[in-house]
Structure formats: structure tokens, C-alpha cells
Amino acid sequence: MSFTQILDTISAGIIILDRDLKVLKWNNWLERYSSIKAEEIQGKSIFKYFPNLDVPWFLRNCKSVFAFGNFSFFSQKIHNYCFPFKNVTTLDTSFEYMQQNCTMGPIRDEASQVQYIYILVQDVTDIADYEKKLTEINNRDGLTGLYNRMYLNIQLDDEVNRLKRYGRKFSLIMLDIDHFKAINDNYGHLCGDQVLRNISGLLGKHKRAVDVIARYGGEEFCCLLPETSLEEAEIVAERIRTTVEKAVFLYEDSNINVTVSLGLTEAKDPSLSLEDILKKADDALYQAKKGGRNQVVKMVF
């Protein structure tokens, strides 16, 4: 079997480029997934077909491999893909394009001089999709489907860092279901679980794409609103309160009415710590509960 036959039978993409970064070899795997025939692309600049690669990081790696004969690895976790091939997997996936790990290495002549470079392209979409779904599961609360406290804390840390570095304010809402113990006592814990899921669904209807809503613990929830003022957060909180108050939750033959108390604060001082912000929102929630429940209380620094 010839060298060319080997390249055309492996289940990965192989590209060979000369020093002008023109395509010398484009194997069958690449033809299949790119819909570009070898006779069409060979002899032409790789950038004519893939202008997304005409960027410093790719050019720098090509230059390094030619100069030093080393290897470069382009991880899916960093680059997602080098070649924008449409995802053709039959699995349910959120990726529009094939996710790839790519390796670049030297091809030497008889005098051990680097004359060409190759790029090996491997389809890792299934692995990337599995890792993404596994991460998503780890970030979610099992009962409500909302984000869990661990994920919320990561996002809060990011927002605090953005506040310190760029002065980007944010607001935080803490929410607690009123008299939740009575619901469990009167209707049972299965009903309580259903109420938690119903409240979670209502909260999701009031979030923007950038907002993070999490189950903070028990019957308590937390809403992180990036780049949102206290006044804007109060509108959101009041909208949540009235939506829950008007909702009727059906459990078996019972109609259950639920209310929530909400405390909120705005973080706009770069000297604030995450603990300061959480405590202020929690203090506001405590005041809402102490003041009669089913209300919104805001506290400022």
C-alpha cells in the first residue's frame, strides 16, 4: 500500500502544507467532511478556503514548526475547531460545527530539513458533547433543574472580579418561599418538591440570557443580575413576587397558593467582598420575612 493510500484510508484528516502554506495533500476524510475536492484545493493557499486560520496564533505555530521542527497541539477546549466543518453526528448535540483536536508537526527531507508541515484533524465532537453535558449536570440542582449553589458561587466570584477590575456593578436577589414548612406538613414532601419545581419554572420566565438563577438551599433561591442597578433589580423582584402570588399550583385535588419574600442589594463598590454582598442580600431577605412576608426589601451599602 502506498503512502497516499494510507493517508486516504485513515479516519482522520491529514493536510500537508508547503512553506508558502499551500496545500500539498488533502486526504479523503477531509474531502468527505469539507465537501472540497483534493484537486480543487491542492496547490492553493489554505487561507483561500479557510480565512479563519489567517490569524497570529496559527501563523506563529506554522513558523515555529518550520523553524524548529517541533509539534503544536490545538485543543478543542481552547479553539473548539480549526476547520469549520458542519457537525454531522447523529447524536443530539448543541455544537453547530465539528469539534476538533488538531496536531501540527514537521515533515523532513533526507537531510533532516523541515520542508513541509502536516496537520492531523481528529473529530472529538462526541467527547466534547459528553463533557459539556456532564459539566451541565454537575452545575444543576437535581430537583429543580436550576443552577446549584456551587455554580452560583463561581459566577458570583467572576462578577466580583469584574466589579473590582472594570467597575461593572451587579445586583443580587435572594428569595425564600413563605411558610414552606407548612406546605410540607399539610400536603407532604412530594407536594413541597412540586412547589419548588413550579417556582423554579416561574423564575426562569423572568430571566435574561445573562442572568443566573440558582437554588441556594432548601426553599431559598438566588438571582444574579449582571450590570443591573438596584432600581432595575427591584422591578424584576416585584415582578417575580406578583407572578408567584397570582399563581395557583395544583397538587392532586388541591389548589395551593404560595407567596415569596425577596431581599436584594446592589454591588457597585469595588472594595466589597463576596461575603459582604451575600450578607447584605440575606439581611434584606430577613427583613422581608420579619416585616410580614410576601414583599420585596432592598438594602444598600
Whole-model pTM? 0.71
40 is catalytic: no
Domains along the sequence of the chain with CATH? 3-131 (3.30.450.20), 140-298 (3.30.70.270)
One-letter amino acid at 145 equals G
> Residue 287: which residues within 8 A CB-CB, separation 6 or more?
263, 297, 299
pLDDT band at 299; cut points 50, 70, 90: very high
Q: Which of 219, 220, 234, 266 is catalytic?
A: 219
240-260 tens-digit pLDDT:
999 999 999 999 888 999 999
Bridge partners (DSSP) of residue 119 are 15, 104
Q: What percent of the chain has pLDDT above 90?
A: 83
171-207 tens-digit pLDDT:
999 999 999 999 999 999 999 999 999 999 999 888 8
One-letter amino acid at 130 equals Y
Per DSSP, helices labelled H in 10-85 are 28-34, 38-41, 46-49, 56-68, 76-79
In this predicted structure, what is the pLDDT of residue 292?
Answer: 95
DSSP class per residue in 223-278: EEEET--HHHHHHHHHHHHHHHHH-EEEETTEEEE--EEEEEEEE--TT--HHHHH
3-class secondary-structure state, position 38 = helix
> Residue 84: which residues within 8 A CB-CB, separation 6 or more?
50, 52, 97
One-letter amino acid at 276 equals D
Mean pLDDT of 268-280: 94
pLDDT at residue 1 above 60? no
Contact 104, 70 (CB under 8 A): no
13-17 and 114-123 as β-strands: parallel, antiparallel, unpaired? Answer: antiparallel
pLDDT band at 91; cut points 50, 70, 90: low
Mean pLDDT of 100-110: 95
